[in-house]
Amino acid sequence: MLYLINKTKLVLFINMFKLSKKTEYAIVALQYMMSNADKNVVTVREVADFHNISQTLLAKILQALARGRIIESVQGSQGGYTLVQNVKKISLAKIMEAIEGPIHITDCYYDPSCCLRSNFCTLRERLAPVQKGLVQHLQNITMADFIKE
């Protein structure tokens, strides 16, 4: 459940919002990298074994994070992945977009032409403030917020 407060102090409730398993795995992989920063480079096998995640799936997730420039692939016999950004600059929105693509609560948010009902449907218009609030909220949550103290 996610609560957002907009400028008019209206509380908007989204019951169906849920992180995908891929996004969850991306977050735990980044947490692992953060907690093992002294190693500089971590391998897919190492993270997969520690969190009991499929190596194949995790490899794809880490590749997506590398394409999103959140982490970097290090080649060679001592290769693996390393963080390239300060954890305070890695937002949950950035992670989700690297893994899943643009964040949207309706398919038509970015492309109204994909909907056959766009001439008379008001969902896009009415949910725009929710969309903006959701993205803003996710941009304000960073990996630094996931550091266990």
Record the tokens describing residue 114, joined without a space: 């994909």
- Flag residues of the chain having pLDDT under 70: 1-17, 108, 118, 149
The 3-state DSSP class for residue 82 equals strand
Whether the full predicted model's pTM is greater than 0.95, yes or no, is: no
Q: Which domains does the chain have, with CATH numbers?
A: 19-146 (1.10.10.10)
pLDDT of residue 25: 96
d(C-alpha 80, C-alpha 78), whole Å: 7
d(C-alpha 29, C-alpha 47), whole Å: 6
The helix (run of H) or strand (run of E) holding residue 69 is none
pLDDT of residue 149: 63
Give the pLDDT confidence of 10-48 residue by residue, as tens digits.
Answer: 333 333 567 889 999 999 999 999 998 888 899 999 999
Task: Enumerate residues 6+ apart whose C-beta is below 8 A from 129.
Answer: 6, 12
d(C-alpha 90, C-alpha 30), whole Å: 10
